[in-house]
Amino acid sequence: MRNHFKKYALLLIAGLVICSMSCEKDSKGGGEGGFIINARNIIIDGNDSNIAAVKAIMWNRQSGEDEPIATGTYENGRFKLTLPNTIDDCYLDKASNLGGRWRYISNPNVKMGEICYISAYNEADNEIGSFGYFESRDTSATYVYADRSVTITGSYDGREGIFIYDCSLKKGWNVVYYISWGEDEDEDYRYHTLTTKKPSNITLKWHYHGWGKSSATKK
């Protein structure tokens, strides 16, 4: 099920790289404490009684491994994560590495990375479930880090449909929203919008899916 949640986050990088919050005010940036994610009123699918820690995961491009960059606590259907103000280059990729798609980005020297997924761990540090922030499979949000302010605008006709970018990223962490619509039968007519402007017509909620006993050995 982690891959199901991870899909929402990876769509941002898939479109560019190809390679509780019960409301917006619960995401806070800036300050020495880092970018805070307060997930509240989480919708639970499965058993959450064994959650001892919550970790935000990024992909290390040097090691080729998924690694935690922030750890928080979970209690009574909520968790809090503080993302670090600065991210090592091993978790970021330069826009100039994106091939021809860098033309949608105002500064080709910008380095970006994103939270691939947010996972739950038990006391033995085994991964036992995943969290996602979405309304449906077609409306979701993810967290993107940029090492400088940059805009991403334009559209791209790709294998998975047409991607429309309307992003104004500030230095540090940003919330990027993903909205998809169109005909499922023909991906050529499916549209994917990536924007930093929170849509007014959708309500995103945090969800948790536990993996059950079969996942107790997963790391």
- Which helix or strand (DSSP H or E) is residue 134 part of? strand 127-136
Q: Are 195 and 167 in contact (CB under 8 A)?
A: yes
pLDDT, tens digit (0-9, with 9 covering 90-100), for 88-123? 999 999 887 766 666 788 998 999 999 999 999 999
Please enumerate in sequence order all residues whose Cβ is within 8 A of that of 219, keeping only pairs 6 or more positions apart, or say none. 125, 126, 127
**Strands 127-136, 139-146: pairing kind:** antiparallel
pLDDT, tens digit (0-9, with 9 covering 90-100), for 133-153? 999 888 999 999 999 999 999
* Alpha carbon distances (Å) from 155 to 144, 165, 204: 19, 6, 24
Q: Is the pLDDT of residue 207 over 60?
A: yes
Q: Is the pLDDT of residue 53 over 80?
A: yes
* Alpha carbon distances (Å) from 183 to 14, 138, 158, 166, 188: 20, 12, 15, 22, 8
pLDDT, tens digit (0-9, with 9 covering 90-100), for 3-44? 444 443 334 444 443 332 222 334 444 444 579 999 999 999
67 token code pair: 């690694």
Distance CA 87, CA 111 (A): 10
CB atoms within 10 A of CB 184: 9
Confidence bin at 216 (pLDDT 50/70/90): very low
For residue 134, the model assigns a pLDDT of 93
* Alpha carbon distances (Å) from 130 to 33, 96, 133: 25, 32, 10
Confidence bin at 68 (pLDDT 50/70/90): very high
Asked whether the whole model's pTM tops 0.85, one would answer no
Q: Is the pLDDT of residue 87 over 50?
A: yes
155 token code pair: 């559209």
pLDDT, tens digit (0-9, with 9 covering 90-100), for 151-194? 999 988 877 788 889 999 999 999 999 998 876 555 556 888 99
Q: Are 196 and 177 in contact (CB under 8 A)?
A: yes
